[in-house]
Amino acid sequence: MNICFVASSLGIGGLERVVTLVGEAINGKENIVYYFSIDNKTPYWKINDEYRLHLQKPSLNKYSRQIMKAAKLIDYLKNWGQLDINRYQRYFIKNIIEYVNEKKIDVLILTSAHQISAIPIIKKKCKNIKIIAWIHQSHQAIVKNSRKFSLSFINGIKAADKIICLTDSTEMYFSHINKKTMKIYNPISISGKNRVSKLSSSNISFVSRISLKNGDKGLDLLIKLAKVLPANIHITIAGGGSHKEEKKFSKIITEKKLQNKIIWQGPKRGENLIKHYLDSTIFISTSRTEGFSLVILEAMSLGLPVIATPTTGARELLGEGKFGILSELSDINHFSEKIQELLGNPEELLRLQKLSIKRSHDFDKDNIVAKWVQVLETI
């Protein structure tokens, strides 16, 4: 079977990591897995064979993008708040149809609202193709992000041969639109080889893409939290972003005089990322929205107690608070108190560590890949 995963990019993010992780696990004698990246940047995650990777070339220069942006606005206003998004992604649609035909793709897996909106057109041009919509966001987030082209998005959901979601609430939402909806968790993406944190430091770990856009990652909240934490508690950050976003974040840390509290170490992977987790005692997440937090899962697999904002993903992973602590960041002082209380309670740290490890077993890579294989075989 020839399978193709489509992603907006294959950069450093969690979605991109899981796409390559699942794809490479499926690739083998019976399946050939291809990757189609809408971004032409070199992938951050390793793909063994270059011939299985397609990086789409840019179609527009800066001036043309500005014209398209204006055209979208006019179209949106003219059509009473609805945009025919497929008019503005003809280049992608043309390229993916050509790629499907060239590689004789049997199953196409799409991972964003824009891509999903193109499903009816792709299916019309590629008669025998089966298409899976793999939704990595919460249903609230993806519905919000697609609100300007909601009709196109819903038509794409209806036309999909399978919808894969990451949480119970998102599965329930989309099953009302397309009954061929199911939940498959994302797998743990790193292996600590049974190593766990010693829970002996006053260091808190944080892993995130460095992006201040929309405030989704809650980096502004993280800054406020660092300001009220005692001087002996440090937040160590692993993560990278665009040059512009990194420069902006670094400037904020300096302006707030938090260089001794926030230790930003840049992007990490492999053994360096594992060490980042193991060198801390608590993992925190300040995200405002998260469909499924791969970094929370990684931290739990290495025995870290977790304190997180109650996003859809965090609530699913932490079992509504059974396997970790959910705390609103609207009250920064309360979040800070939770951290200090936990650091001062070795028995509670150990209890939560055991729960983290227990919960992480539900996300075993082999079991999850087996579910994907079953879906692909039955579709």
Using one digit for the tens of pLDDT, what is the confidence trace for 177-221? 999 999 999 999 888 888 999 999 999 999 999 998 888 899 999
Mean of pLDDT values over 10-18: 86
Per-residue pLDDT tens over the stretch 217-233: 999 999 999 999 999 99
User: Is the pLDDT higher at 71 or at 58?
Assistant: 58
Residue 254 has pLDDT above 90, yes or no: yes
Average pLDDT (270-287) is 95
pLDDT at 190: 86
Percentage of the chain with pLDDT > 90?
A: 76
Going by C-alpha positions, the residue among 284, 336, 293, 334 that lies closest to residue 312 is: 293
Q: Give the model's pLDDT for residue 65.
A: 66
Residue 38 contacts residue 99 (beta carbons within 8 Å): no
Residue 62's pLDDT band, with cuts at 50, 70 and 90, is low
Q: Which pLDDT value is given to residue 41? A: 87
> What is the pLDDT, as a whole number, of residue 347?
97
> Does 97 score more than 80 pLDDT?
yes
**Which band of pLDDT confidence, cut at 50, 70 and 90, is reported for residue 76?**
low
Q: How confident is the model at residue 61 (pLDDT cuts 50, 70, 90)?
A: low
pLDDT of residue 80 exceeding 90, the answer is no
Question: Among 8, 41, 40, 2, which residue's Cα sits nearest to residue 115?
Answer: 8
Mean predicted confidence (pLDDT) in 140-168? 95
Check residue 308 and give its pLDDT.
95
Residue 60 pLDDT class (50, 70, 90 cuts): low
In this model, does residue 319 exceed pLDDT 80? Answer: yes
Average pLDDT over residues 87-111: 96
The pLDDT of residue 161: 98
- CA dihedral angle for residue 171, residue 130, residue 141, residue 213, rounded to 10 degrees: 150
User: Is 70 exceeded by the pLDDT of residue 107?
Assistant: yes
Res 213: pLDDT = 82
In single-letter form, the type of residue at position 327 comes to S
Q: Which residues of 133-155 are buried (b: 16+ CB within 10 A; e: fewer)?
A: bbbbbbbebbbebbebbbebbbb
Pick the CATH number of 2-186+364-378 from 3.50.50.60, 3.10.450.710, 3.40.50.2000, 3.40.50.1000: 3.40.50.2000
Number of Cβ within 10 Å of residue 53's Cβ equals: 16
328 pLDDT band (50/70/90 cuts)?
Answer: confident
- The pLDDT, as a whole number, for residue 63 is 54
Is residue 164 within 8 A of residue 182, CB to CB? The reply is yes
Q: What integer is the mean pLDDT of 119-144?
A: 95
Residue 69: pLDDT above 80? no
Report whether CATH 3.40.50.2000 matches the domain 203-363.
yes
Please give the model's pTM, rounded to 2 decimal places.
0.87
Confidence at residue 44, expressed as pLDDT on a 0 to 100 scale: 85
* CB-CB contact of 306 with 277 (8 Å): no
Tens digits of per-residue pLDDT, 265-274?
999 988 999 9
- What pLDDT is attached to residue 68? 62
Q: Where in the chain is the domain with CATH 3.40.50.2000?
A: 2-186+364-378, 203-363
How far is 77 from 151, CA to CA, in rounded Å? 15
Model confidence at 279, pLDDT cuts 50, 70, 90, reads very high
Q: What is the mean pLDDT of the chain?
A: 92
pLDDT for res 86: 93
Q: Is the pLDDT of residue 64 over 90?
A: no
Q: What does the pLDDT read at residue 164?
A: 98
